[in-house]
Amino acid sequence: MANLDMILDNINYIGAFTLFIIGLYTVLTHSNLLKRVIGVNIMETAVFLFFVSIGYIKGASAPILDQITGESFYVNPLPSAMILTGIVVAVSITAYGLSLLINLYKEYGTLELDEIISKEEKAND
């Protein structure tokens, strides 16, 4: 049962890795470009989850300056601050990617990668 405890303790990390693999799998297998954007988003979320959970200490309080007195533990605020930046980056990438997708849809009429490639090949011939 020590194993179960270990898994429960590190559930965040395991969840993050699982999400990463799900996201990677999405990008790998689906040929719809919108689903790929979603897949990349999932991967980014996974990494954020991983990063934030690094800072978490079980049983510690929130890192607000007034509340802490004495020698108590507080959760590491640094990763959360970093991840805010990261989320902003992820949002801007998603926005940019989606706007590119809109333009692609206007040009090709479809968002499936296979169809786009075949249309390109027909145009080249």
Partner 1 sequence: MISNHLPVYILILLLISAVTTPAIKPSSKKFRPKLVGTLTIASLLALTMFIVVWTNGPFYYNFGNWDSVIGIEFFVDEYTSLFVLAVLLISLLIIIFSLEDILHDIPKEKTPHYYTLMLLMVFSMLGMIMTNDLFNLYVFMEILSLTSCGVISIKRNKANIMASFKYLMLGTIGSVSILLGIAMLYMVTGHLNMGATSQTISSVWQMYPRNILISLSFILTGLGLKAAIFPLHVWLPDAHSAAPTPSSAILSGIVIKIYAFSMIKILFRVIGIDIIKAISINEYLTYFAVISIVMGSVFAIGQKDIKRLLAYSSVSQIGYVFLGIGIATEMGLVAGMYHIIAHAMMKSTLFLSAGAVIYRTGIRKVNEFDGLGYELPLTLGAFSIAALGMIGIPGVNGFMSKWYLGLAAFEIGKPIFIIFILISSFLNAVYFLPIVISAFLKESNRREQIMIRDDIPFTMKAPLVVLGAACIVTGLFPNIIVNVIQRALPTFMTFVF
Partner 2 sequence: MKKKMKKAKQKFDQLILKIFPDIFCVNCVLVFVIYLMIILLVGIATTIGLGGGPLSLSNPDSFLSKIGSFISSFEALPLIIILLPILGGPLEAIIGKKSSILRDTLVVNTTFITFILIVLMYPQVMRGGLSFSLPGVLGFGLNFNVDILSYILAITSGILWLFVSIYAHDYMDHEKHQNRFFLWKSITFGGVLGTLMAGDLFTMFLFFEIMTFSSYVLVAHNQSNESMLAGNSYIFIGVVGGLSILLGMLMLYAYTGTLEFVPLASQLAAIGWPKYIMVGLFVIGFGIKAGMLPLHIWLPKAHPVAPTPASALLSGILIKIGAYGLLRLTISVFMPNPQEITGFLDPLWDVSRNLGVMIIWAGIITMAVGAFLALQQCEMKKLLAYSSISQIGYIIMGVGVTAYLGYMGAMGYAGTLYHIINHAFFKSLLFMVAGVVFYQTNELNMFKLGGLWKKLPLTALLCLIAIMGIIGMPLFNGFISKSLLHHGIVEAYEYGHASFKYAELIFRIVSIGTVAYYMKFFISVFLGELPEKFKNIGGEKGMMDLAMGGLALLIIAIGHVPHFLMDRFIIPSARALTYDPAFIKKYLVDIEFFTYSEISGMFWIFVFGILLYIAGTRFKLFQLTFYECLDIDKGLYKPMYNGVVSISRKFTEKFEDKIINNDVVIYSAILMVIMFFLLWFT
Amino acid at 52: V
CA 116/CA 76 separation, integer angstroms: 47
101 binds, among partner 2, partner 1, none (CB under 5 to 8 A by kind): partner 1
CA 16/CA 5 separation, integer angstroms: 18
Q: Specify whether the CB–CB gap between 44 and 90 falls below 8 A.
A: yes
Interface of this chain with partner 1, residues 1 to 30, rule: CB under 8 A: 20, 24, 27
DSSP one-letter code for 125: -
- Closest to partner 2 by CB, 46 vs 55, is 46
- Under the criterion CB under 8 A, does residue 79 sit at the interface with partner 1? yes
60 binds, among partner 1, partner 2, none (CB under 5 to 8 A by kind): none
- Candidates 6, 11, 78, 84; binder of partner 1 (CB under 8 A) is 78
CA 79/CA 11 separation, integer angstroms: 18
> The tokens of 62 are what?
């929130």
CA 43/CA 19 separation, integer angstroms: 6
Stretch in the footprint of partner 1 (CB under 8 A) among 1-9, 41-49, 57-65, 67-75: 41-49
Interacting residue ranges for partner 1, rule: CB under 8 A: 20, 24, 27, 33, 36-37, 40, 43-44, 47, 50-51, 54, 78-79, 82, 85-86, 89, 92-93, 96-97, 100-101, 103-104, 107-108, 116, 120
